[in-house]
Structure 1
Amino acid sequence: MRCPAALLTLLLVLAGCAAPTPPRPALSIEPGRLPTADLALDIPGLGPCTDNPERSLHLRSGEPLNIMVHGCFGSSGEFRSLAQVLAFHGQQSACFTYDDRAALNDSASALRRALRQLDEQGKTPRITVIGHSQGALITRRALSDLPLKETLPVGVPKELVTVSGPFAGIKAAAPCGIGWLRVATLGFMPVSCHMVTGAKWADITYSSRFIREPGGLAPQVSRHLKIDTDERNTCRRFEGSRCVESDEIFELAEQRQVAVEQDPRVKRVELQAGHVEIIGDREVAPLKLITALQAEGVIHPTPAAQRPAFQQLLARVYGDARLVSARP
């Protein structure tokens, strides 16, 4: 039996990801106002927020750390500019890199393993883990109370920030979760789903156990800041005044999940922003996200005397990006 053309079209967009942004040529982070590092760590999966092949992490012991987790088609370099924003405010960062086609539980286990090693070696008083898109699913699972291959360390307090996470399952992946379609396509459906997305295909549908049973937050997580994006009528790329590439990847309904939001430690913030716009790229600086993170105490406030320098930094690290309004 042939798979209908409409089904093949769905499979082409099954990954539910924005196209990757070309990597930036810079392979280092300007120190900004960071204290001098006194610790060098080699932890699998963790490294600086650049695409530099040198992955040793240089930190100042005794200082909090922000760990950023990319979505699919992403990399550590995706967050280089946001790491510069943190450094400007005296906050150190690291990025977690993983195989974005692997099963999400495996990626979450790898993140837990990195967090355990960081707890043991990093002398860090507090860790904030920030996940975008698919990275939001991975960070939430890693900081849940569910058993995985790795145990979540209890020593260092953790905070969780998720941005544009499809906690209700990816709408485009829905056919992969329909049992009768697997039978009707004579097994073609699961093979095709795996071909397009890798092993994670079984985790991202609305009917998957990963989505239906997210578990609760682990006791060592003090709060979960859940940032959802209303991506309607957003545009990633213009040619003149005409939008040639939409920035709508996930609907709000794909991001809402009662089982995730019912914990009293969860604070939900909704922003009108595109899926790529919210974290920034060469087209736009993520002022909406920066403003929200400053309002919630994740990023330190910018002193009035430093605001001109901060604007110069944004213009420099985001290239020719538009500095759009930070108002939600």
Structure 2
Amino acid sequence: MRNFAAVMAIAALGFMTGCATPPPGEPPLMTIDSSRLPPANISLTIPGLSQCTDSGDHTLKLNAQQPVTVLVHGCFSSAGRYRGMAQVLAFHGQQTVCFSYNDRDSLVVSAGQLDTALNQLSQKLDNKHITVMGHSQGALIARKAMSVSKSAAIEGGDVTMRLVTVSGPFGGIAAARHCGNPLWRTLSLGLVAPICQIVTGDKWSEITYTSPFIVEPGALDPRVKDFLKIVTDEGGSCRRMSNGACVESDAIFSLAEQRNPAVDRDPLVNIVEVKAGHVEIVGNNRTGPVKLITVLQEHGVIKPTEPDRREKFGQLLTRLFGEAAQ
């Protein structure tokens, strides 16, 4: 029994690799340059939605006649971590908001909260085209919120939605395989479940490869008109310091963890594979999300950069993400 406890302790520690730890030393990101955004004509507060900054200001100032992109972060993250991507969209005249949630909650609970927030947002918009983009665990939450099992709260046939997921572990998290294994549950005399819950919270039973959440993801709501699924080949990737030194591996989810036939066979899905690390793809203060921006522009999620503004866009990326951003 002592050997089993040791094995479970190691498994529990390995489980933590299911989330990317936030890069150290990131400055607080408090503001977004809105000079190229359409003038705001509504101001509202919706639980779970906020500006994509760390300012703590949850008041949304939007133009009701323009579409909105909702960004959904992964675990160990925050709305402010996506201030850079929000600024990239703002540079192209596109408005964004960020959805925040407790990453230890059940994914179904978080998806329900996002679903409710999207409903309230759509009711305030005249242009009811909403793009929802989720990274990592946020990808799982975003897709569940837009499936038929959760989207009944999104009212109105005039709502049209686009789903974009990035590096989502739709096949289940390999590090959690012990939590979903019936044999381990038996051998552990019931200890597996509480250990898994201590490590990851209430989502523990949903992220295993055998969970109904993974095996039966549900069909997308008919109001979802397009699904862009970006998978990342993270093998050999590394998070680096400004001098190029490797800090730690940036390989969080394998391609197998990101694949799921029940998700991938959807007729709406367009799968794009990118060679990039898990954090690299969305950017940090040392690496710009150039590869992600390229894919999003190729598929119309971000508008093309005007030729006479490409130099300024490059300067913006450098300011937001560092010298190696471009």
* Structure 2 length-normalised TM: 0.95
Note the alpha carbon deviations across 1:86-130, whole angstroms, 9 max, x for none.
Answer: 000000000000010000000000000001101112333310000
Q: Matches of 1:213 and 1:199 in 2, distance apart?
A: 19
Q: Which runs of 5+ in 1 are unaligned?
A: none
Q: After TM superposition, list the pairs within 5 Å mapping 1:18-167 onto structure 2.
A: 18-22=20-24, 23-147=26-150, 151-154=153-156, 155-167=158-170
CA contact (8 A) 1:282 1:321 kept: no
Q: Matches of 1:38 and 1:283 in 2, distance apart?
A: 35
Q: Give the equivalent residue in structure 1 for 2:234.
A: 231
RMSD: 1.5
Note the alpha carbon deviations across 1:222-277, whole angstroms, 9 max, x for none.
Answer: 01000000000100124855423000000000000111011111000000000000
Q: Matches of 1:87 and 1:97 in 2, distance apart?
A: 20
Q: Matches of 2:273 and 2:199 in 1, distance apart?
A: 30
- Change in 2 beyond 3 A, CA 1:240/1:323: closer
Q: After TM superposition, list the pairs within 5 Å mapping 1:161-310 onto structure 2.
A: 161-238=164-241, 242-310=245-313
Counterpart secondary structure, 2:15 = coil
- Change in 2 beyond 3 A, CA 1:99/1:241: closer
Q: Give the equivalent residue in structure 1 for 2:318.
A: 315
Q: Matches of 2:238 and 2:176 in 1, distance apart?
A: 23
CA contact (8 A) 1:115 1:153 kept: no
Q: Please state how far the C-alpha of 1:183 moved relative to its aligned partner.
A: 2.0
Q: Please state how far the C-alpha of 1:4 moved relative to its aligned partner.
A: 4.2
Q: Please state how far the C-alpha of 1:14 moved relative to its aligned partner.
A: 1.5
Q: Please state how far the C-alpha of 1:11 moved relative to its aligned partner.
A: 1.0
* 1:6 matched to 2:15: no
Q: Matches of 2:127 and 2:60 in 1, distance apart?
A: 13
Q: Matches of 1:206 and 1:247 in 2, distance apart?
A: 22
Paired letter, 1:68: L
Paired letter, 1:13: G
CA contact (8 A) 1:32 1:89 kept: no
Q: Please state how far the C-alpha of 1:5 moved relative to its aligned partner.
A: 2.8
CA contact (8 A) 2:290 2:325 kept: yes
| Number of aligned residue pairs | 322
CA contact (8 A) 1:101 1:197 kept: yes
Paired letter, 2:248: E
Q: Please state how far the C-alpha of 1:8 moved relative to its aligned partner.
A: 1.7
Counterpart secondary structure, 1:236 = strand
Q: Matches of 1:88 and 1:59 in 2, distance apart?
A: 15
Counterpart secondary structure, 1:223 = strand
Counterpart secondary structure, 1:95 = strand
CA contact (8 A) 1:142 1:152 kept: no
Counterpart secondary structure, 2:266 = coil
Q: Matches of 1:67 and 1:127 in 2, distance apart?
A: 7
Percent identical among aligned pairs is 50
Q: Matches of 1:174 and 1:290 in 2, distance apart?
A: 33
Q: Please state how far the C-alpha of 1:175 moved relative to its aligned partner.
A: 0.3
Counterpart secondary structure, 1:79 = helix
Q: Matches of 1:281 and 1:242 in 2, distance apart?
A: 15
